[in-house]
Amino acid sequence: MKLLVTGAAGKVGQAFLPAFLAERRFSDFEVVALCNNRAIETDDRRVTVIRGSMADEQVVARALDGVSHVVHLAAVKESPDLAIDVALKGLYLLLDRFRRSDAGRQFLLLSGDCVVGHIFQGYAAPITEAAPRRAYPGVYALTKVMEEVMLEQFGIQYDLGYTILRAPWIMEKDDFRYAFALDDTQFGGPPWETLVEADDLAKMRNSDVFPAMRDSEGGFLKRNFIHVEDLVRAILLSIDNPAAHGELFNIAMDEPVDYGAVAALMETNGRDRAEIATPFHSNWLDNAKARKVLGWKPSVGLEELVERAWNYRRGENDPRIVWYPG
């Protein structure tokens, strides 16, 4: 068997590949890592690295030669020209060649809760896999919707075996800590400048308070997260799993992160809370289907997410990399 991994040099790819290679169930798999802007370095004989764009038909043909399984992790954020190449043209080329292959068995797509609008769209109940797609503004969310639809339609049209894993904001190392940074080291968004007046923001920065966003109804914002290790385990459980074929799964923490609860943890460390009003919605990405069908459950909850992020110490060879804005 042979696995193709796109986006192998990204945040999820760099966590997934060593975990896959260490899994005894996949010991007879060869791996092709398709990289474009960044390339992985490996001395594992089972891994072949191919450089090139998914929008290049010849590159796609080389990468898919003899491939039985695809884990599609490659993504582009708010860069319309690149996003169209990767998410639409590139995915189409991959799927069209893969569905013609005698070796092809499963195509796994990593999607995101941007497809259902995460904090930009309101839901009266937990968001299940049956919820309609309601992307928030921007090219990234739009292309993720189109990726999911394209893959589902290839499944319908050509009986292509597929699996979609829909993840929220993916955390590793000290990401979660920097999501609350008030200065220009902030990871992700929304930028504080869009929510707080300049003078008030300057005062918050000078007093080193901890930001706690409130949602559109006045309660503390609740947003969904997942640690990259938990996401990788979900991917591993889905690969070559008949129960995962033709299915979409939400892969999220058991409960969304309550920004008030995070602020309360910070208060025990002596930081005052600064409450910030926002127009955003609190939502809950329901992971019940993945727990039941895949036998998966997340291991990193809120307290461990905080502990890992605030205790993480970087070495000289471990620079902070923002893979995408978040």
- Number of Cβ within a 10 Å radius of residue 316: 5
pLDDT of 325 over the 60 cut: no
Distance from C-alpha of 1 to C-alpha of 240, rounded to nearest angstrom:
10
Strand, helix or coil for residue 115: helix
Inter-residue contact 141 to 226 (CB < 8 Å): no
Per-residue pLDDT reduced to its tens digit, 85-103: 778 899 999 999 999 999 9
User: 155 and 204 share a domain?
Assistant: no
User: 114 and 164 share a domain?
Assistant: yes
Per-residue pLDDT reduced to its tens digit, 111-162: 999 999 999 999 999 999 999 999 999 889 999 999 999 999 999 999 999 9
206 in a structural domain = yes
269 in a structural domain = yes
pLDDT value of residue 322? 65
139 in a structural domain = yes
User: 121 and 27 share a domain?
Assistant: yes
What amino acid is encoded at 105 in this protein? R
pLDDT value of residue 311? 95
User: 158 and 240 share a domain?
Assistant: yes
Domain range enclosing 194: 175-223+255-282+299-311
318 in a structural domain = no
Which CATH number is 156's domain given? 3.40.50.720
User: 187 and 114 share a domain?
Assistant: no
pLDDT of 323 over the 60 cut: no
When divided into structural domains, the chain yields a total of 2
User: 149 and 188 share a domain?
Assistant: no
User: 304 and 243 share a domain?
Assistant: no
Q: What angle do CA 60, 62, 65 make, to 5 degrees?
A: 105
Inter-residue contact 70 to 3 (CB < 8 Å): yes
Going by pLDDT thresholds of 50, 70 and 90, the confidence category of residue 80 is confident
The mean pLDDT value for 307-320 works out to 89
User: 57 and 192 share a domain?
Assistant: no
291 in a structural domain = no
- Number of Cβ within a 10 Å radius of residue 248: 21
Per-residue pLDDT reduced to its tens digit, 58-74: 999 999 999 999 999 99
Tokens representing 200 are: 């008030």
**Cα–Cα separations (whole angstroms), residue 104 to 13, 17, 97, 278, 287:** 21, 20, 9, 46, 28
Q: Residue 233: which region, alpha, beta or left (left: phi > 0; alpha: psi -120 to 50)?
A: alpha
User: 90 and 186 share a domain?
Assistant: no
Going by pLDDT thresholds of 50, 70 and 90, the confidence category of residue 326 is very low
Tokens representing 177 are: 């800590």
Q: 242: which DSSP letter?
A: G
User: 66 and 215 share a domain?
Assistant: no
Distance of CA 152 to the CA centre of its chain: 19
Distance from C-alpha of 114 to C-alpha of 145, rounded to nearest angstrom:
8
Backbone angles phi, psi at 175, to 5 degrees: -55, -45
User: 115 and 163 share a domain?
Assistant: yes
Tokens representing 243 are: 């129960």
> How many CA atoms, within 13 angstroms, populate the side-chain half-sphere of residue 28?
4
326 in a structural domain = no
pLDDT of 106 over the 60 cut: yes
pLDDT of 215 over the 80 cut: yes
pLDDT value of residue 38? 79
